[in-house]
Structures are given as structure tokens and as C-alpha cells.
Amino acid sequence: MASPGQDVKDLKAFDGQEVDSLMKTYASSTSSAWRTQVKEKIYGCDPELETLKSKKIQWQSDMIQFDGTPWILMGRKVLSCHQGPDLDKAAKIKRKKEREAKNDHDCHSKHRHLAQDTKKMDCTAKIQVRHAVKFTQFKILEDTEFKRRKAARTIKETLLKGGIVETQSVYYIRFPDENCHKNHPVIGPVGRARTCIYRYSV
């Protein structure tokens, strides 16, 4: 799934528990910690008929290789390294303004001033997850535009009529290589000395 030269590792899982297990193993092996940056609304949900009818049928993407089986994207989830973007920045700014407003009314109030507002190191490493629902009974053996269009049309017509289609949820996970982490250690004596705080939920 990864393009040549990219420092990533792609894996595949078939349910949320398996995804969670892979994430914990990765976090432990790299002494890294992660926070959810993006989680789309129906990521991880069971596909409902109306969802299947409304979603675009796809065959491949940057993370999902073509294997002859059509699918829809239920949602994506992105986790950033805990030394990456400050996901609490807006809340911190709000608290800072509230403190400043309070201090305006109490000039004798003691307040600890920090040299910087965040300890984040601007690490760009991310874990990407895609939740796809595959239409397993409509797999094509010959990859042609005609075959793709015919299968997609049949799926849509079946769904619109309320027919039953076989589906399978598949999670595609892209882990960054250790070299993708910037400005902080993830392995070695210093990296392992840090307590690993693992935050993840499907």
C-alpha cells in the first residue's frame, strides 16, 4: 500500500479489537504515545442500508490497493504523536485569557509565567486508519472499466431495491517508521525511559 521510498508500514485488520491490539503493539515497540486528532462520525460503526446507498463505490485509494473487490469508505481516523500538534491549544488560549481577565481585577494575584505555552516538539508522525466496507460477492476477476461500472451499478440497484448484499469491514492501518518522528526520541535508552501513555479508541 505504501509508495516506494515512504517510511511507513501498512497493516490490515478485520475488527476494532484487532486494530486496537496492533496499535498497542506498535506504541509499545516504539515507546511512543498517540492522541486522536481526527475521527470521522461513522468510523467504526456497523454499515446501515442508508449509508451503503449514499456512499461512493470505490476500487482503490492511496491506502487501499486494488484487489478486485469494490468498497465504500465508512470513515477515517488519524492519530498524531503526543509530541506533535498541540490538540489542546484552543482550550489553553481560552484559559489564558480567563486568567488574564481575572488578573486585571487583582493586580496582586500571583501567576507562574512559562517560557513557552506548550512542551510539544512539532513531531509530524501520524498513524492513519481507514475503515472500508467491502462488497465481497461482487469481486471482479478482470480489471476493466466495463467490469467496474457493471459491478458498481449492480450493487447500487440491489441496495435501492432493499436487497441483501454481503459485506465485510476491513481496517487499513498505516504506521509511520520510527524515522518519521522528529525532534524527540522514540527508541533507545532515552526513548524507553519515558512512560508510554497509549490513548486509542475505536
Phi, psi values for residue 176, rounded to 5°: -80, 150
Give 178's DSSP letter: G
Instruction: Give the residue, 46 or 90, on which the prediction is more confident.
Output: 46
**What integer pLDDT is reported at residue 112 of this predicted model?**
55
pLDDT above 70 coverage of the chain, percent: 68
pLDDT single digits (tens) 46-77: 999 999 999 999 999 999 999 999 999 999 99
The per-residue pLDDT of the chain, averaged, comes to 79
Name the nearest CA neighbour of 171 among 135, 202, 125: 202
What are 74's three cell numbers?
465508512
Phi, psi values for residue 164, rounded to 5°: -95, 130
Name the nearest CA neighbour of 34 among 130, 119, 160, 123: 123
**What integer pLDDT is reported at residue 122 of this predicted model?**
76
- Rounded mean pLDDT of 32-49? 92
Name the nearest CA neighbour of 129 among 4, 26, 5: 26
**What integer pLDDT is reported at residue 149 of this predicted model?**
97
